[in-house]
Each structure stands twice: as structure tokens, then as C-alpha cells.
Structure 1
């Protein structure tokens, strides 16, 4: 009887081990970012506001508290210290994470749906609404002059 119980306990421990390992990950470098001057800090803030956190998805790199966002901010600052332009920094991150990292991706054949899809859906909805209204207006019988005071329940 003890042997199956031990096997069950061992199985449960192994099942929960990956979850425990996730909580035991070391925290990244907590030292604050060092800027050469206020112009570099302003450029950094503007650049990180235009980039998306790949984990949070709806937060900018500047706003996210995720560990990957901290690492990406350090990478952006390191690239800036290497003398890279904003376009080169963005291209580096696009090469690494894909165009999703940009809040305003470039208009190309594989992003047409992203750029024009909402407008097409809106126009399609307006056309459908107009069609339904016209169809219902044509289907209702015209009122006759004698029926003004009477309603049929």
C-alpha cells in the first residue's frame, strides 16, 4: 500500500516541478539605466514608447514591467550607445522579434489586412446596414389615409 502512495507523491512532485522552476527564475539586472545626457534620455523614452513589449502585447516597451521588456530596454540603450540610429534600432528588434514589436508596422503586402482590414469591415457593416434598412422599407406596406388613428394590435 505504501509503494503506490510513494509513486503518486513522486509523480505529483514531478508534475509541479516545472511550475516551481518558473517562480525561481533569477530577476534581471535591477540597476537603473544610465544616460549620457537629457537628450539621450528623451530619445530613449520616445523610442521605447514606439515599441511594443512582446510579452504584454498591449503595452509599450516604456510602460511594461515584464522582465523581457527590461531586457529589451537595456538592448535599446546598448544599441544607442553603439551609435545606431532609431531606424537601425527598430530594424534590429524587427529582425529579432518580428514586425509585431512595432506599434506602427510598415505598409507591405503581408500587413495590408492589419492596415486596411478595419476600414473594410466598417464599410462592409455600413453597406449591410443600408441593405437591411432598404429591404425593410420596401417590405412594409404603405399606410393609407384612413388608417391614421387606428392601430392593429
Structure 2
């Protein structure tokens, strides 16, 4: 039987599971066994974010329809009430620490350039993002166009947003 790796599975490979578990144990130690695991909660929130889901009911329906993929991701069955309780008890320090460890990993894996600058090199990017006038009436760009500008500052040495 052929094995197909989902896009979500490929994205989650960028996040080492041992770093995730180490951060979870550091922040909240051993949680109750009947509670939703941090990993399952993270998968549910990731699916909700990437899929543009707007409610716990919508996330639950998506997860239920993809049960066989959920198993391969290492996630348990997730109910709406369990996800709601887990989100209420969510400690922001967990994701803050997870971001810091991933950021350190990104910084250490970037390659250095053969040229040097006296000061740090930054580049600015201003992208125009078109949006609907009906949904976002406050971002009038012209008489018949609705858009806003997103300004980003990039660190030239590491190719990361500053």
C-alpha cells in the first residue's frame, strides 16, 4: 500500500516532537492523563489556523472527517468540550518557549555570507494586500478598491523578519 504524506504532516516535521514535549514538560509538568494532550491540542489549533476555521465546532468537524490522518499525526480523538477546556487552561509561556527554541534553531542553521557590512543589514518590504470592501469597509484604498499595506522589516543576515 502506498503511503502519502499530508501537507500538515510535512509542516509538523519542521517541529521536532522531542522539543515540543520538552517544552510542554517544562511549562506545565505532567498533566492529567484524561486531559487532551498538548500535541493533540497543537494539531487542532494548527488545522484551525491553516484551514481558516472560525469555531471549535468547525475544527472538530474537520478533525472528525480526517480521522485516519489524525492517527498518523499522533493525535487522539478531540471533542469540542475537551478542546475548549484545554484552550482555557493554555499557558502562553508554552508557545513563547516553543517559539524561542525554534527561533534559536533557525538562527543556528542560517548560512553566513562571504561579504561583510559594517552595520547590520535590514531590508524593508511593503506589500499591498487586497481585501473585500464589504468585509473590511475601514480600509479604503481608493473609491472602488479596498486594500492595506503590510510593512515588513527583514534581517538580511538571517533572512528572518526582524
For the aligned pair, the TM-score class normalised by the smaller chain equals under 0.3
Q: Which structure: greater helix fraction?
A: 1
> Normalising to structure 1: TM-score of the pair?
0.22
- Structure with max Cα Rg: 1
Q: Whose relative contact order is higher, 1 or 2, with alpha carbons under 8 Å and at least 6 apart?
A: 2
Q: Which structure: greater strand fraction?
A: 2
> Normalising to structure 2: TM-score of the pair?
0.21
